[in-house]
Amino acid sequence: MSALDPQPTAEPQTSPEPAAEPHAATDDAPPAPLPQLGSGAMFDRIARRYDRVNRVISLGMDRGWRRRTVRSLQLGERPRVLDVATGTGDLAIDLAQMVPGATVIGLDPSEQMLAIAAEKVARKQLAERVTLVTGDAQALPFASCELDAATIAFGIRNVPDRPRALRELARVVRPGGRIAVLELGEPRRGVLGWFARFHTRHVVPRLGALLSGAREYAYLQRSIAAFPPAPEFVETMQASGLHVVEVVPLAFGACTLFVATPAEDA
């Protein structure tokens, strides 16, 4: 329902998503491949439209979900926090605004998404406390135990090697520090789940395509459907050196917040 991920137009994927699609073909030109998933290049293409479309198709709920994510970290007074896949910086900004003593690093491979984030950070006069860096969740440029907490919102689906990214999060956060993963999924049960599924499958791709003109959005629901159910993702987290302390379904299960600490025996 939120966090617009441009997705390949290839046939429905199993996770992780395939790296190429037939794209904007003309009669005599071969289809151009989409940029490689996990590189950020795909998000470069939609960066200017991302925030507007995100707000509309999530019915504004993405903001509340990010604030809930910040609260789940139970931060102290002067924490150093990493926001992985920061994109246009909304969660990094929430972290800095909700925890006035925090210093935040927003990391993302997409230069264009980071350029929007930098504009927003400057506009909100947070540049002294929010640093933006290019990087990949699968190889974080930080020493072990260097950070007090870390987040990744609507980002883990885009990472080709999810266990590796989760292991990296477990590595860079100090013992006892919290790691929050916010991600969309398809609700499996119930009447309200049916509405959420309908929204994801039918409303999200149409609205996204209508508002943004990017036909990649039509495939958002496929990546959501491909994301594993919460219990399965919890297993992946645990197998990746994380101790899961809380799993919070949001919007009838359309979104889930997973909260963990580095496992002591990892």
Cβ nearer to ligand SAM, comparing 158 with 265: 158
Written as six digits, the tokens of 57 are 């198709």
Does the protein bind ligand SAM through residue 35 (CB under 6 A)? no
Does the protein bind ligand SAM through residue 184 (CB under 6 A)? no
Identity of the residue numbered 148: D
Give residue number: closest CB to ligand SAM: 87
Does the protein bind ligand SAM through residue 8 (CB under 6 A)? no
Cβ nearer to ligand SAM, comparing 110 with 261: 110
CB half-sphere exposure, 90, CA atoms < 13 A: 22
* Residues 110 to 139 in contact with ligand SAM, rule: CB under 6 A: 110, 113, 136-138
Q: Of 21, 7, 160, 18, which is closest to residue 85 (Cα–Cα)?
A: 160
Least distance (Å) from ligand SAM to the CB of residue 38? 4
Least distance (Å) from ligand SAM to the CB of residue 146? 17
Interface pattern 74-113 for ligand SAM (x via CB under 6 A): ----------xxxx--xx----------------xxx--x
Interface pattern 189-218 for ligand SAM (x via CB under 6 A): ------------------------------
How far, in Å, CA of 23 to CA of 216, rounded? 9
How far, in Å, CA of 216 to CA of 9, rounded? 7
Cβ nearer to ligand SAM, comparing 78 with 169: 169
Which residues lie closer than 8 Å to 165 by C-beta, 6 or more apart?
84, 137, 138, 152, 156, 159
Among 1, 43, 149, 261, binds ligand SAM (CB under 6 A): 43
How far, in Å, CA of 80 to CA of 146, rounded? 8
Contact 219, 212 (CB under 8 A): no
Cβ nearer to ligand SAM, comparing 107 with 196: 107
Least distance (Å) from ligand SAM to the CB of residue 155? 4
Cβ nearer to ligand SAM, comparing 175 with 228: 228
Classify 40 as helix, strand or coil: coil
- Positions touching ligand SAM (CB under 6 A) are 3-5, 38, 40, 43, 84-87, 90-91, 108-110, 113, 136-138, 153-155, 158-159
